[in-house]
Amino acid sequence: MREKIQEIIVVEGRDDTARLQEVFEVDTIETNGSAVSDQTIERIRRAQEKRGVIILTDPDYPGDRIRAIVEERVKGCKHAHLPRAEAKDKRGKIGVEHATPESLRRVLGAVFEPRVETDQPIVTRKMVLEADLIGGAAAATRRKRLGVLLRIGEPNAKQFVKRVEALGVTIEEWEQALAQLEEEQG
C-alpha cells in the first residue's frame, strides 16, 4: 500500500510525477523547467496555504534554480533533497525520476505529513459540468477565468476537477468565484 502524502510536492516535470506516484499517493505541481511562471507560483502559493508544499527538484543547477525561485516567492515550503548519487541513471543522467523507491521514501519520509481525509465538502465533477465548464462554446474561456479566480491555474477540462480537489477549493470559494465570473460575463 502506498503512503498518502498531505503536502503537494513541487517537481520539475511529468516523469518526476510519474515516479513519485509509483511510490506514494501524492499530488504534484510541475514547474516544466526552470522558468517558473507566475501562474505556477500562484498555484504553489495556494497549495502552501491549503495543504503545505515540499520542494523536490533534481540535484543539479536547474533544480537548484527552481528551488530558489519557489522558496523566494512562496515562504514556508519544506525541502526534500535527493543526493546526486541517488538520482543518476545508468548513463549518468540526473533526475528525480531515476531515484529508487527506497531513496524517495527516505528523503520524503523525513519531511512529509501523512494525509488525513476530511469531511469538508469538495467541488464535484457534476458541479463543474453544471457551471458550463466542460463542453460548449464558452467552456474553455469560462474555465480559464474561473481557474484564475480560484488560483489553480488554467487547466484543461480533464485537469480542472483534479486541481480543485488537490488544491482544496471549498464550496464557499467555488460559489464566490462563480458569482464573480457570472458578474464579469454579465
Percent of the residues in the chain that have a pLDDT greater than 70, as a whole number: 97
Claim: this prediction has a pTM higher than 0.85: no
CA distances from 173 to 79, 150, 158 (A): 29, 7, 20
Which residue shows C-alpha cell 524517495? 104
**Containing H/E element for 128?**
helix 125-130
Does the domain at 3-109 match CATH 3.40.50.300? Answer given as no
> Domain locations in the chain?
3-109, 125-185
- Between strands 28-30 and 3-4, the pairing is unpaired
Which residue type does 180 have?
Answer: Q
* pLDDT tens digits along 9-34: 999 999 999 999 999 999 999 999 88
Instruction: Quote the CA–CA distance of 134 and 145 in Å, as a whole number.
Output: 13
